[in-house]
Amino acid sequence: MMSAGTRGKDDRRDERDNAGYDMHLDRAAEINRTISTLPHVYYFSVPCSAAKKQPDGTYRPVRGVEPLFVARCLQIGAYSGRTAGGMAVDESWRENDGLVNTVSAAAPSGAPSKPLDRKNIEAGLWNVFPTVNGDHMWLQGGLMHRHDIRPFYLVLLTMISAVAS
C-alpha cells in the first residue's frame, strides 16, 4: 500500500516497513513512550543546525548547506501547526540541519538530558553537545561539501575512553 504523497509504483510494501515511518513526529512520540534511558548507559547527542533565524521567525538555510537539503530546510524552517495525532509543533521546532529539527536531535522528548559537561558525564541521561553549525551530513564528513571530521571524532573517542576507564 502506498502512503499519501508517495510517488512511484505501488510495490505492495506496508508503509511501516521503512525508517521514514518511524521518523514522523507522531510515530516517534509513540516510540518514545515505550522506551526509556537505562541507568548505566551513557547517552550522547550532537544536534546540528544549518539554518539561520529570519526577522519573521522562519529559518533559512545557511551558505554551504548540502544542496540536497535546501528544500527540506526551508519547509522545516517555516512550519508550525499540529500533526495528524495532535502534537503541537511550534516555532521552537523550526531550527534544523536540513533534514532534522535541531530541538529533536538533542534527546527524545521527555527523556532526561543536560548540556554536555566533559568533567561530569553522567549515565542514564542524554549528554548533549553544543549545537554544531553544520548540516545533517556534517558528522559524516559531508556529501558535496567535504570536510575533515576526524578531529571531532578523536575528541569524542577520547572523552568516551575516559568515561569507560
Assess whether pLDDT exceeds 80 at residue 3. Answer: no
- Tell me the residue range of the domain where 132 lies: 21-164
Residue pLDDT, tens place only, 72-131: 999 999 999 999 999 999 999 999 999 999 999 999 988 999 999 999 999 999 999 999
Look at residue 15 and tell me if it is in a domain.
no
Within-domain flag for 4: no
The torsion of the CA quartet 141, 17, 77, 26, rounded to 10 degrees, works out to -130
Please say if the pLDDT value at position 26 is more than 50.
Answer: yes
* pLDDT for the residue 125: 96
Can you give the length of the chain in residues? 165
Q: What is the pTM of this model?
A: 0.83
Q: Is 162 left (phi over 0), alpha (psi -120 to 50) or beta?
A: alpha
Q: pLDDT tens digits for 40-83? A: 999 999 999 999 999 999 999 999 899 999 999 999 999 999 99
Residue 6 covered by a domain: no
Place of cell 568516551: 160
Tell me the helices (H) and strands (E) count for the chain, helix number first.
5, 9
Note whether residue 92 is domain-resident: yes
List residues bridging with 158 in a β-sheet: none
The pLDDT value given to residue 110: 87
Is residue 110 situated within a structural domain? yes
Residue 87, domain member (yes or no): yes
Q: Does residue 8 fall inside a structural domain?
A: no
**The CATH number of the domain where 81 resides is what?**
3.40.50.1820
Looking at the structure of the chain, the number of domains it has is 1
